[in-house]
Amino acid sequence: MVGSNVSSQETFILLGFSAHPHLESMLFVVILLAYLLTLLGNTTIILVSRLDPHLHTPMYYFLTHLSLLDLSFTTSSIPQLLYNLHGPDKTISFAGCALQLFLFLALGGVECLLLAVMAYDRLVAICKPLHYMVIMGPRLCLGLVSVAWVCGVANSLAMSPVTLLLPRCGHRRVDHYLCEMPALIRMACINTVPIEGAVFVLAVGIVLSPLLFILVSYGYIMRALMRMRSASGRQKAFNTCGSHLTVVLLFYGNIIYMYMRPGNSSSQDQGKFLTLFYNSVTPLLNPLIYTLRNKEVKGALRRLLLGTRQVGKE
């Protein structure tokens, strides 16, 4: 008896989309396909950026980290979701739940800051093109990426234990497909207003501050673009900035809605599908956004493919 009690206390039940059983089979196929394409797209970006010397620039260094983040982010929860969608078992261990929550918060926080770093990179490239390679040297690039990772992990270390240690009074049913912070807060059997307040304060630092920096950066970028005399230079700048802005809108549109309004303030079903979009679709779209409008990446892919074919013929 004691063993079973301990076992029950060490597992959670992820309700996921069990309220819509007719959707589970379709979701399994769609999410599996999206996950495989995400792995392919982001791995391709990483390999192309590392293997082609023409792409050994700060912009593609940051893009490589973005792709690595997207790979890690989607892998932190999608395999568990596919397992739960495929069969009747909806359980996850306490350790697995804690790891999901930590990675979800950490990687999401890192991506917020990395998008701000990428905005700074575009700001320097467009506003100070002659000094770009001097300012964005390897040491600064490494430093900016390191700060993003350290701050994202620190944010998760602050928020994850507080969320996991909330009294649940035996509640094990997580009304979500992953161990996400708002869903775990809803399980608590105490007043969570102070916790939600602390979450809001931390979210301002990790979510809204980078967004504000991005908006200010693009204000300066737009002013510089309006002063450009070269139409081709302006068009090239618009393309690279447009890709970054599209990724920012996709990412922040979802994360602000979810994490600036924790607890019971939003529709639970709507929250699940928004999280699924944020967790599955956005990492799939990012490589497409950066390749479809980017001649440099297309050229690098062409060179690598032609090189591979030539080696094969030899």
Kindly report the CATH number assigned to the domain that includes residue 12: 1.20.1070.10
Q: How many domains does the chain have?
A: 1
In a domain, 58, yes or no: yes
In a domain, 313, yes or no: no
In a domain, 109, yes or no: yes
Per-residue pLDDT tens over the stretch 207-258? 888 999 999 999 999 888 888 777 776 777 777 788 888 888 888 877 766 6
Please give the Cα distance from 183 to 177 (Å, whole number).
10
In a domain, 75, yes or no: yes
Please give the Cα distance from 181 to 186 (Å, whole number).
9
Q: Show the 3-state SS of 193-217.
A: HHHHHHHHHHHHHHHHHHHHHHHHH
In a domain, 206, yes or no: yes
Is 50 exceeded by the pLDDT of residue 266? no
In a domain, 306, yes or no: no
Q: The domain containing residue 230 runs over which residues? A: 2-299
In a domain, 304, yes or no: no
Helix ranges (H only) for 165-267 are 181-186, 193-203, 209-227, 231-259
In a domain, 191, yes or no: yes
Q: What is the mean pLDDT of residues 90-115?
A: 91
pTM of the entire predicted model = 0.85
Per-residue pLDDT tens over the stretch 139-193? 999 999 999 999 999 999 988 988 888 888 878 888 888 888 888 888 888 888 8
Indicate the pLDDT class of residue 314, thresholds 50, 70 and 90. very low
